[in-house]
Amino acid sequence: MTQARRSPVTAVLGPTNTGKTHLAVERMCGHASGMIGFPLRLLAREVYDRVVAMKGESQVALITGEEKICPPNARWFLCTAESMPLERETAFVAIDEAQLGASPERGHVFTDRLLRARGREETMILGSEALRPMVEALVPDAEIIGRPRFSTLSYGGARKLSRLPRRSAIVAFSAEEVYAVAEALRRLRGGAAVVMGALSPRTRNAQVEMFQAGEVDYLVATDAIGMGLNMDVAHVAFASLRKFDGKRQRRLTIAEMAQIAGRAGRHQRDGTFGALHEDGPNAFTPEEVLAIESHRMPRIEKLFWREGAPDLSSVDALIASLEAKPTHDVLRAAPEAVDLAVLKRLADQDWVRDRAEGKAAVARLWAACGLPDFRKLGADPHARFVGRVYGHLSEGRGHVPHQWFADEIARLDRTDGDVETLAGRISAARSWAYIAHRADWLEDPNHWAERTRAIEEKLSDALHASLTQRFVDKRTTMLLREIGADADALPVTIAADGEVTIEEHSLGTLDGFRFSVAGDARAADKRMLLAAAEKRLASELRRRGRALADAEDSDLSLGGDSAILWGELPVAHLVSERNAALPAVRLDRALDVLDGALRGDVQARLDRWFAERVANAVPPLARLGEATRDPAAGAPLRALANALLDAGGMLPRRAAAELIEALDPPARKALRKLGFTIGTLDIYAPALLKPAAAQFRRELLGLGDGPVEGASVLPRNAPGAGLAHGFRPLGQQAVRVDLVEKIARAAHDSRKGRAPFTPDPALATSIGLTPDTLSRLMAQLGFRAIRGKEGEPQRWAWKGLTPKPKAPPPPRDNAFAALADLVSGNG
């Protein structure tokens, strides 16, 4: 733990948005050379781009695990903390977010840099005010400078996703949670950019640029944004206050909360933070809120440490030095990291120990163990992968085989698949990029570094496109921004084919009064798009509604499925509310978009049209309907009229026997005036049998195919061969009911009482009745056949119609009968 040659050391401590990183960059660029170690590859890349803009590409280097841009004459180096080339001397050195030395996972790296990384002329330690005790203890000669926050950070309370203000960042702590929140925001707010540490810089920059440019108003990120990534965020909302730290689920520390919340506000602009939950484990406590707002963090009392320059004389010496205990009171041994876990597993294999003889071989083994587990496979699977790499590095010319490397990256050179698949390929590509950027691990490292970079960029572009497609709906974003604006000012366009567009974004199609959301809209968006479109289309819908209320008779017609058509558009349907023959007009639900008064006008117009149509096409039914509402008609006639309407205007006499018996002579006369005949077998209206009336009646009742026009007798299985169509089935034939009545009258005119007689066969023959049909008809009319001699015409005798059996009287031996007697006064 011996410190390097002393130089002026300054510790710049303070909360987020104090300009610490900006100050360090400015100081570095003021020196002839310099180096800064960052906690994230993304942040290193961001600052690299800034310094390149100031100094030029040939003067600036970027060194991370899986990316190395190192021009021969580079003087300024931007690195991840793990990748800082400490053997290189520079005038200026800075370590950013040095408080991460208290992190169990990577803390030993930041502690080592705090102790050993020094610039020739100036060294800066950047971090939280909570780090002050550690700086005082470990770097006693450092000058400590406190920096106040440029803007105010205040608690904004708990808000649901749907209530978050624009320019908000929502922080989650797993990829699954990030995707879930982003999906919800796409439905509610049109979309969100996504930022995670696992993203490549190219994908991350494309996503951030989308947010910065205002294409989306929301950003969903992991806690990676807490490490100094600069974005124009006004509010930070925590989707959760718990994270998995590699070993267990735990609540965030106040320092972690403050680091993330501090991303809200930029420079002089104030910011707010909050949660998505008002109570429960994912809600802030008053104590946490006070600490974050006042930037009072618990002081760091210990830093994790591991030997930064381990003994490479042997494998055992290497492990021993890495497991050595710190000697300073404020340091504690770091938990076993992945690289040490892999080393110990490989050290148990004889072939590894056989090859790791000598300092150079041990150094090469330790370098191989430093290959990060980008794919998060776990120690055992990752150890097997590292073991294979080291096997190649420790044999022959010490290079990873060209063919193996080429085959593996070729498998990754695909852009199909979903977000998770693409992200997984990028993680795998980072392992190969790490290998390619080790100068002596491949025969042609420059070629393969460029090849892996091209694949990562290709996958990154595909991932950005996939993230945008999955989590951003620009159409919805634009609509939400317009909500509340003057509807008349919104550029709604309705094309001739009914397509509705707003600012060239297709919303759907307006077919009559029904708006259908565009087919590419996801189910969760449809309700919002429907509401937005209907709000903007109100004037057009009112215009169409008024045109329908004023429609000419010629514009309306009766279509299939009992629909009333306006042109070719169904605007209402006939429903049997009281009876089948005179259904009610019910407006199509699409017309619900009209206001109540206008719907009333449309309803009145269609009711009037339909009533006139019925009166003109089937007058008996119209008159029958009027009779049911006429008190002067008398109860018996109204009862029969209702029964006829229920049956569609045709009713077997036997079924209505009691209703007919109840009619007095005036009522019978009134029924005839309505156009109905009480026949021997059926009650019917002759006018309903005429072709035009019969066709309308079929449409009205939904009867389907009718009989051949003008037919008087039909085969039994022919279309329309039933009483619903006005035909009475008789054996293998069906006879029109008015002709049945004509034959009945002729038979009664021919008979003399009950004496046998022979009816005139000419009538039946002219109609087309077969002998069997005539026999069946005569039997139904109340005649019985009389046997005669062979060859003689068939004779018949009147026997009378079989009366309808009367219902048996109710039993008298029960409590209800006794109750009836009491009520009637018989008891």
Least confident of 204-208, 463-467, 531-535: 531-535
pLDDT at site 314: 95
Least confident of 60-74, 198-212, 432-446, 762-776: 198-212
In angstroms, the CA 427 to CA 385 distance is 14
Q: Assign residue 304 a region: left if phi > 0, alpha if psi is -120 to 50, beta otherwise?
A: beta
pLDDT at site 825: 47
Least confident of 303-317, 409-423, 515-529: 515-529
Interval 607-664: pLDDT, tens? 999 999 999 999 999 999 999 889 988 999 999 999 999 888 999 998 889 999 999 9
Which tokens in the block code for residue 14?
A: 């303070």
Query: 303: exposed, middle or buried (C-beta count within 10 Å: 0-12, 13-18, 19+)?
Result: buried
In angstroms, the CA 700 to CA 16 distance is 77
Task: For tokens 């205007």, name the residue.
Answer: 649
> Using an 8 Å Cβ cutoff, are 621 and 649 in contact?
yes
pLDDT at site 289: 94
Other C-beta atoms closer than 10 Å to the C-beta of 816 total 10
In angstroms, the CA 472 to CA 457 distance is 21
Looking at the whole model, is its pTM more than 0.85?
no
* β-strand pairing of 60-63 with 76-80: parallel
pLDDT at site 491: 61
Is residue 571 helix, strand or coil?
strand
**Structure letter (DSSP) for residue 72:** T
CB-facing half-sphere around the CA of 7: CA atoms within 13 A: 19
Query: 308: exposed, middle or buried (C-beta count within 10 Å: 0-12, 13-18, 19+)?
Result: middle
pLDDT at site 813: 59
pLDDT at site 527: 60
Task: Return the higher-pLDDT residue of 478 and 366.
Answer: 366
What is the chain's mean pLDDT, rounded? Answer: 87
Which tokens in the block code for residue 228?
A: 């100094």
Q: What percent of the chain has pLDDT over 90?
A: 52
The amino acid occupying position 656 is A
Q: Is the pLDDT of residue 497 over 70?
A: yes
Q: Is the pLDDT of residue 79 over 70?
A: yes
Distances (CA, A) of 91 to 21, 28, 71: 17, 8, 18
Q: Where are the beta strands (DSSP E) in 553-614?
A: 556-558, 563-566, 569-575, 584-587
Interval 98-112: pLDDT, tens? 999 999 889 999 999
Task: Return the higher-pLDDT residue of 604 and 18.
Answer: 604
Q: Is the pLDDT of residue 474 over 70?
A: no
Task: For tokens 């077919």, name the residue.
Answer: 511
pLDDT at site 740: 93
Mean pLDDT along residues 277-294: 91
> Using an 8 Å Cβ cutoff, are 110 and 13 in contact?
no
Which tokens in the block code for residue 242?
A: 């718990």
Task: Return the higher-pLDDT residue of 240 and 536.
Answer: 240
pLDDT band at residue 803 using 50, 70 and 90 as cut-offs:
low
In angstroms, the CA 636 to CA 642 distance is 10
pLDDT at site 503: 58
In angstroms, the CA 161 to CA 169 distance is 11
Other C-beta atoms closer than 10 Å to the C-beta of 449 total 22
pLDDT at site 480: 57
Interval 675-697: pLDDT, tens? 999 999 999 999 999 999 998 88
pLDDT at site 489: 46
pLDDT at site 824: 47
pLDDT at site 520: 67
Task: Return the higher-pLDDT residue of 705 and 369.
Answer: 369
Q: Is the pLDDT of residue 331 over 90?
A: yes
Interval 559-596: pLDDT, tens? 877 889 999 899 999 887 677 778 889 999 989 988 89
Q: Pick from 4, 2, 6, 22: which is nearest to 121 by CA?
A: 6
Query: Burial letters for 29-67: b for 16+ Cβ neighbours within 10 Å, e otherwise?
Result: bebebbbbbbbbbbbbbbbbebbbeeeeeeebbbbbbbb
Q: Assign residue 417 a region: left if phi > 0, alpha if psi is -120 to 50, beta otherwise?
A: left
Mean pLDDT along residues 398-423: 91
Q: How many H-runs (helices) and E-runs (strands) does the chain carry?
A: 29, 34
Mean pLDDT along residues 444-451: 90
Is residue 5 helix, strand or coil?
coil
Interval 158-192: pLDDT, tens? 998 888 998 899 999 888 888 889 888 887 777 89
Q: Which of 267-276, 319-328, 375-384 has the highest mean pLDDT?
A: 319-328
Mean pLDDT along residues 243-266: 85
Is residue 758 helix, strand or coil?
coil
pLDDT band at residue 3 using 50, 70 and 90 as cut-offs:
very low
Mean pLDDT along residues 213-219: 88
Mean pLDDT along residues 383-392: 94
Q: Is the pLDDT of residue 367 over 70?
A: yes
Mean pLDDT along residues 246-272: 85
Interval 113-151: pLDDT, tens? 999 999 999 999 999 999 999 999 999 999 999 988 878
Is residue 616 helix, strand or coil?
helix
Q: Pick from 435, 423, 466, 468: which is nearest to 199 by CA?
A: 423
pLDDT at site 318: 96
Domains of the chain (ranges, CATH numbers): 1-148 (3.40.50.300), 153-301 (3.40.50.300), 474-536 (no CATH), 553-617 (no CATH)
pLDDT at site 485: 43
pLDDT band at residue 521 using 50, 70 and 90 as cut-offs:
low
Q: Is the pLDDT of residue 90 over 60?
A: yes
In angstroms, the CA 12 to CA 17 distance is 13
pLDDT at site 791: 76
In angstroms, the CA 39 to CA 44 distance is 8
> Using an 8 Å Cβ cutoff, are 184 and 252 in contact?
no
> Using an 8 Å Cβ cutoff, are 264 and 233 in contact?
yes
pLDDT band at residue 811 using 50, 70 and 90 as cut-offs:
low
Q: Which residues fall within 8 angstroms of residue 437, CB to CB, at 6 or more apart?
A: 65, 66, 67, 68, 445, 449
